[in-house]
């Protein structure tokens, strides 16, 4: 089946509109607390609203998808050579031809129907996401990184929620929550200055700038909105029930991911996470590439997180502004499409490279070369011309020409390399990592460093899981299907404890590759995401999810999504190879794939 703009769906035709609002396979939250504790009129209203809008969207997309699938099955049967019974049936009963003409949908017709559904449901789902917020904002953020799967109609507004989601807090409410959290402590009257307009809005609260008494620098406070925890948990229960009815294969991984949201609603835990990660990451070899805010742990409460302010802008916005300056300087249009496509083409011209920058290292080298050429042009041509003009009589007529900075590009290759490296360091060396590295949680600082500002979803894995995942990385690189399947199915400490009905090696390999490495056509078989997952489930139904792999897989998907957003295809196993090897040299130096690579290096 073809995969083009019309069929570039969010988790497939059956979930295009729905997943834009709920992120079917992304992270969710739950607790061991009974859901009845959170049942009230507001939550009942939210559940009713979800079903009212989600069910028609889901069924509409599924209907088109099924008609398209039947079209392919029908024509495969009709075109099968040597099947005389089918030929007799077709000639004797023209109803089959009529059925094909009036009910079945070709790829072209299905694309047209999908576009109609995108146009109809996207505004409806968008409106509900803004109104319901919380859980749905969280998953729209996840989907905003998947430019390669999400239809443009949904992508346009999903990207806005990375850092522009409207707050539900009333005027003055955030300050009141922050002050109440300090009441009865020595910091009760510590807030001297407060900016009412939030500088950022998260899925469960808002971030405000303030200044404390006796301090010259401002800090920031993340404030949790009232009742958001109850609404989150209710929405998750609703989502799980929906999946049990329509997509039960998503329930096992969803339940595993839920466990990692248990602490997100307690900012005291996040403050400790920030302090720990700052020590592990910033104070080590990443000090010149990464900045993590210092939390004011003693001031933090369940609903308010005080921390150091990091200067910078959200990553996507920073890259966009860099591209716009570059395009403007080169006389090109600086719209959104130009940001994603034209700048890369111009960069290729500058660097004399024709590969469209699918490789991180190649992109970094090409960008450095392009920026060097831009700076050289600025110093050797633009500045001498400007100085000559200012010394000429023309200055008296037309005015002085002011000096302008050179329009260099943010080096996306270096940015992505840093993101890949720092998350690999967290996973393989620290065993503690951020499970939610979406673009809204990453700032681009003026000095080029990355600001990692959110560790609410900090995940911890033991050494056995780290070692098993390092082996998985090498097995994926070497396309060793048997070893990949063994690692997925083996019980800890040797593997991840996944279990399937048929133990089909090829299916295990393709799913592990898709979630942890790449989603290229040789893996997805040309199917869109939902069709691929459905097909893998049909071939070998999942019984138990490889639990400790789930959150690492999510990090891989998010990082690849950021690369895809800028037309860069990442292979995570290649990027994480050196980190996996370093861990295995310490924990299992005799592992056969490690020895194989070492032997190959010796031959060279």
| pLDDT value of position 30 | 34
pLDDT digits (tens, 9 = 90+) for 329-379: 666 655 545 444 544 544 444 433 333 334 677 777 777 787 787 778 778
Residue 83 confidence (pLDDT) above 70: no
| pLDDT value of position 574 | 93
Q: CA-CA distance, 492 to 11, in Å (whole number)?
A: 30
- Cis amide linkage into residue 493, ω under 30° from 0: yes
Q: How many CA atoms lie within 13 A of 599 on its CB side?
A: 8
User: For the chain, what are the domain ranges?
Assistant: 5-160, 311-456, 461-603
| pLDDT value of position 94 | 53
Q: pLDDT averaged over the chain?
A: 82
Percentage of the residues of the chain whose pLDDT score is greater than 90: 44
Question: Rounded to 5 degrees, what are φ and ψ at 262?
Answer: -60, -35
Residue 423 confidence (pLDDT) above 80: yes
Residue 327 confidence (pLDDT) above 60: yes
- 273: which 2 tokens? 């996470």
Residue 165 confidence (pLDDT) above 60: yes
Angle between helices 505-516 and 481-489 (to 10 degrees): 80
Residues 6+ apart with CB under 8 A from 587: 463, 466, 467, 470
Maximum average pLDDT range among 16-20, 104-108, 452-456, 463-467: 463-467
Grade residue 100 by pLDDT with cuts at 50, 70 and 90.
low
Maximum average pLDDT range among 68-77, 133-142, 389-398, 536-545: 536-545
Rg of the chain (C-alpha set): 26
pLDDT digits (tens, 9 = 90+) for 206-264: 999 999 999 999 999 999 988 888 888 888 888 889 988 988 888 877 777 667 776 78
| pLDDT value of position 29 | 33
pLDDT digits (tens, 9 = 90+) for 265-298: 999 999 999 999 999 998 778 989 999 999 999 9
- Look at 337 and 163; give whichever has higher pLDDT: 163
- Look at 448 and 18; give whichever has higher pLDDT: 448
Q: CA-CA distance, 205 to 225, in Å (whole number)?
A: 5
* DSSP string across 51-105: HHHHHHHHHHHHHHHHHHHHHHHHHHHHT-TT-HHHHHHHHH-THHHHHHHHT--
> How far lies 549's CA from each of 316, 478, 510, in Å?
28, 19, 15
3-state secondary structure labels for all residues of 156-180: HHHHHHHCCCCCCCCCCHHHHHHHH
Maximum average pLDDT range among 324-328, 392-396, 587-591: 587-591
Q: Report how far Cα 87 is from the mean position of its chain's Cα atoms.
A: 49
Q: Is 131 left (phi over 0), alpha (psi -120 to 50) or beta?
A: alpha
Question: Rounded to 5 degrees, what are φ and ψ at 295?
Answer: -80, 150
pTM of the model: 0.80
The answer to whether 270 touches 67, Cβ cutoff 8 Å, is no
What is the average pLDDT across 142-161? 82
What is the average pLDDT across 442-463? 92
Residue 182 confidence (pLDDT) above 70: yes
| pLDDT value of position 143 | 80
Of 496, 497, 591, 485, which is closest to residue 540 (Cα–Cα)?
A: 485
């Amino acid at each position: 089946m073809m995969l083009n703009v019309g069929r570039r769906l969010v988790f497939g035709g059956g979930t295009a509109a729905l997943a834009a609002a709920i992120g079917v396979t992304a992270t969710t939250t739950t607790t061991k607390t009974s859901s009845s504790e959170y049942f009230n009129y507001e939550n009942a209203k939210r559940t009713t609203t979800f079903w009212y809008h989600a069910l028609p969207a889901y069924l509409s997309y599924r209907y088109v998808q099924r008609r398209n699938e039947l079209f392919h099955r029908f024509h495969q049967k009709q075109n099968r050579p040597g099947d005389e019974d089918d030929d007799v049936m077709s000639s004797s009963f023209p109803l089959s031809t009529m059925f094909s003409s009036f009910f079945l949908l070709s790829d072209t017709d299905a694309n047209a129907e999908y576009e109609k559904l995108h146009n109809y449901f996207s505004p409806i789902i968008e409106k509900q996401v803004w109104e319901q917020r919380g859980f749905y904002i969280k998953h729209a953020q996840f989907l905003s990184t998947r430019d390669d799967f999400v239809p443009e109609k949904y992508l346009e507004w999903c990207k806005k929620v990375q850092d522009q989601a409207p707050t539900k807090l009333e005027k003055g409410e955030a300050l009141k929550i922050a002050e109440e959290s300090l009441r009865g402590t020595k910091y009760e009257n510590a807030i001297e200055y407060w900016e009412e307009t939030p500088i950022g809005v998260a899925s469960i609260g808002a971030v405000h700038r303030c200044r404390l008494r006796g301090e010259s620098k401002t800090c920031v406070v993340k404030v949790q909105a009232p009742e958001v925890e109850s609404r989150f948990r209710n929405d998750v229960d609703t989502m799980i029930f929906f999946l049990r009815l329509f997509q039960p294969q998503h329930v096992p991984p969803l339940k595993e991911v839920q466990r990692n949201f248990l602490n997100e609603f307690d900012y005291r835990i996040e403050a400790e996470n920030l302090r720990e990660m700052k020590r592990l990451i910033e104070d080590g070899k990443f000090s010149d590439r990464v900045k993590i805010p210092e939390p004011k742990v003693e001031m933090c409460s369940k609903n308010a997180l005080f921390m150091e302010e990091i200067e910078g802008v959200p990553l996507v916005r920073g890259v966009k502004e860099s591209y716009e300056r570059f395009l403007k300087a080169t006389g090109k249009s600086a719209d959104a499409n130009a940001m994603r496509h034209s700048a890369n083409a111009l960069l290729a011209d500058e660097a004399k490279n024709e590969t469209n920058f699918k490789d991180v290292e190649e992109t970094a080298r090409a960008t450095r070369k392009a920026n060097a050429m831009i700076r050289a042009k600025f110093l050797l041509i633009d500045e001498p011309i400007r100085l000559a003009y200012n010394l000429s009589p023309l200055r008296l007529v037309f005015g002085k020409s002011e000096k302008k900075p050179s329009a260099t590009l943010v080096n996306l290759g270096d940015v992505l390399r840093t993101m890949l490296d720092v998350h690999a360091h967290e996973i393989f060396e620290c065993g503690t990592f951020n499970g939610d590295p979406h673009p809204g949680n990453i700032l681009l600082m003026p000095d080029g460093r990355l600001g990692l500002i959110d560790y609410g979803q900090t995940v911890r894995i033991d050494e056995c899981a780290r070692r098993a995942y390092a082996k998985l990385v090498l097995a994926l690189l070497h396309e060793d299907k048997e070893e990949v399947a063994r690692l997925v199915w083996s019980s800890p400490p040797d593997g991840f404890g996944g279990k399937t009905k048929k133990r089909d090696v090829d299916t295990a390999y393709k799913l592990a590759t898709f979630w942890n490495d790449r989603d290229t056509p040789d893996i997805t078989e040309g199917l869109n995401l939902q069709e691929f997952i459905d097909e893998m489930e049909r071939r070998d139904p999942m019984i138990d999810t490889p639990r400790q792999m789930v959150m690492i897989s999510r990090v891989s998907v998010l990082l690849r999504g950021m690369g895809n957003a800028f037309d860069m295809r990442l292979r995570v196993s290649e990027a994480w190879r050196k980190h996996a090897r370093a861990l295995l040299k310490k924990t299992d130096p005799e592992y056969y794939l490690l020895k194989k690579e070492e032997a190959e290096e010796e031959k060279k």
